[in-house]
């Protein structure tokens, strides 16, 4: 009988059910291809079905006008943590992209400015390169 293997998710609240593709102004030094996302030299960001993210951070609430921006922002910060994007170069444009996406999705300029200020002031530690934690795979029988 084949074994079933899985992993527990602790910090993620959402999982993308359909691939999301967007042209962005962030241009990497080379094409980046990871399991759940890619970013081309020309700035085409593809977030693949199955990608998990945690939505808005801190005191922000997961409203419909922040979800798309938080998806893209989390993927870009993950690319920075993985070392694929230089956080010293790309963090501010990623934060500005989050703000503009919130505005496009109907957030007031006051709240979008607050979202930008929060990630810009407090998000650096989440963008710095770090080793990804080991994934514990559990297999049953």
Please compute the mean of the pLDDT values over residues 13-18 and round it to a whole number. 91
Mean pLDDT of the chain: 91
Does residue 132 sit in helix, strand or coil?
A: coil
Q: Are 85 and 26 in contact (CB under 8 A)?
A: yes
Report the pLDDT value the prediction gives residue 25, as an integer from 0 to 100: 97
Over 80: is that where the pLDDT of 8 sits?
no
Tokens matching residue 128: 């710095």
Please compute the mean of the pLDDT values over residues 33-42 and round it to a whole number. 97
Q: Measuring CA to CA, which residue among 98, 17, 102 is closest to residue 52?
A: 17
**Percent of the chain surpassing pLDDT 70:** 95
CA 133, chain centre distance (Å): 16
Q: Output the CA angle 49-75-68, nearest 5 degrees.
A: 70
Phi-psi region of 59 (alpha: psi -120 to 50; beta: other; left: phi over 0): alpha
Task: Name the DSSP class of 83.
Answer: T
Over 70: is that where the pLDDT of 1 sits?
no
Please compute the mean of the pLDDT values over residues 75-81 and round it to a whole number. 96
The tens digit of pLDDT for each residue in 91-116 reads 999 999 999 999 999 999 999 999 99
The tens digit of pLDDT for each residue in 53-74 reads 989 887 778 899 999 999 999 9
Report the pLDDT value the prediction gives residue 98, as an integer from 0 to 100: 97
Q: CA 18 to CA 85: how far, in whole Å?
A: 24
Query: Is the model more confident about 32 or about 141?
Result: 32
């Amino acid at each position: 009988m084949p074994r079933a293997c899985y992993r527990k998710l602790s910090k993620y609240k959402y999982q993308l059910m359909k691939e999301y593709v967007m042209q962005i102004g962030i241009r990497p030094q080379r094409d980046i291809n990871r399991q759940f996302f890619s970013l081309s030299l020309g700035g085409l960001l593809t977030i693949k079905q199955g990608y998990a993210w945690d939505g808005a951070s801190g005191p922000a609430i997961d409203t419909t006008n922040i979800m798309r921006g938080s998806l893209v922002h989390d993927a870009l910060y993950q690319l920075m943590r993985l070392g694929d994007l230089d956080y010293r170069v790309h963090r501010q444009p990623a934060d500005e992209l989050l703000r503009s996406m919130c505005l496009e999705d109907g957030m007031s300029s006051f709240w979008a400015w607050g979202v930008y200020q929060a990630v810009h002031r407090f998000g650096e530690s989440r963008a710095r390169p770090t080793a990804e934690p080991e994934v514990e795979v559990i297999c049953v029988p």
